[in-house]
Amino acid sequence: MFCKISDLLVEVPAAGGMPARCGDYLTDETEPADIVISADRYKSEKYPLLSYDNMCYMESGRQFCAKLIEFGGFYLHSSAIELDGKAYLFSGPSGMGKSTHTRLWQSIFGEKACVFNDDKPALRRIDGRWYAYGTPWCGKDGINQNKKVPLAGICFLKRGEENKIRRLDPKEALPLLMSQTIHKFRKIENLDLLLNNVNYIIKEIPIFELENRPVEEAARLSYETMLSASKEVFDRENQ
């Protein structure tokens, strides 16, 4: 089956429950596909405790993400929210409160705030601008929309006793970004591609660290700080 994901034509095996997951991404376009996901390359032995459907979900997502780097992109393990036409991503290790934080944004801003992927949004640099995309690989809650939204900022979450945010310099941002995406490849050329993409995003998108408690005050702090910083992104792109 053919899907349009992240502005790419992707052939996804119609097995393991993927047709239902990909429903919003199906297209009448046909080959040649930009990315071909092969069920023959699924490594089921890596997931001895998962059901067949969940294994297909994991392996199809792995293959997509591994090829995305060839198209100026990568995925970031994060919760992606759109507000006023801009995408803000909240990342960090599992259990750090990414989904909780975006729900706080929704509590504050209501229907204006839309979570369009809650696990693996795709990021692509196209004509010098970064975009965040919804994908069918969206975590256990299945929260996703087939959207393309200009990227305004990325924030890594940490638990803290007080709410404070700071902008990260490139040396601080690099290991955090790498830790929340696929970065182990058989071919060194693929690692070079990923590092090139990450290097662009570090230079062009504001990246922050937020120490926080799960309260609306923290969400307001992240919003106001990231919104202010995003102006430099869109001012530069409009020059």
Residues 10 and 35 sit within 8 Å (Cβ to Cβ): yes
CA 81/CA 215 separation, integer angstroms: 17
Which domains are assigned to the chain? 1-71 (no CATH), 74-239 (3.90.228.20)
Rounded to the nearest integer, the mean pLDDT of the chain is: 93
CA 58/CA 92 separation, integer angstroms: 19
Instruction: Tokens for 90, please give them.
Output: 């909240």
Q: What is the pTM of this model?
A: 0.93
pLDDT at 26 > cutoff 70: yes
Instruction: Tokens for 205, please give them.
Output: 């998108």
The closest alpha carbon to 67, from 5, 153, 1, belongs to 5
pLDDT tens by residue, 183-204: 777 778 888 999 999 999 999 9
The closest alpha carbon to 40, from 59, 65, 64, belongs to 59
- How buried is residue 120: exposed, middle or buried, by Cβ count under 10 Å (0-12/13-18/19+)? buried
pLDDT tens by residue, 37-80: 999 999 999 889 999 999 999 999 999 999 999 999 999 999 99
- At 239, is the pLDDT very low, low, confident or very high (cuts 50, 70, 90)? low
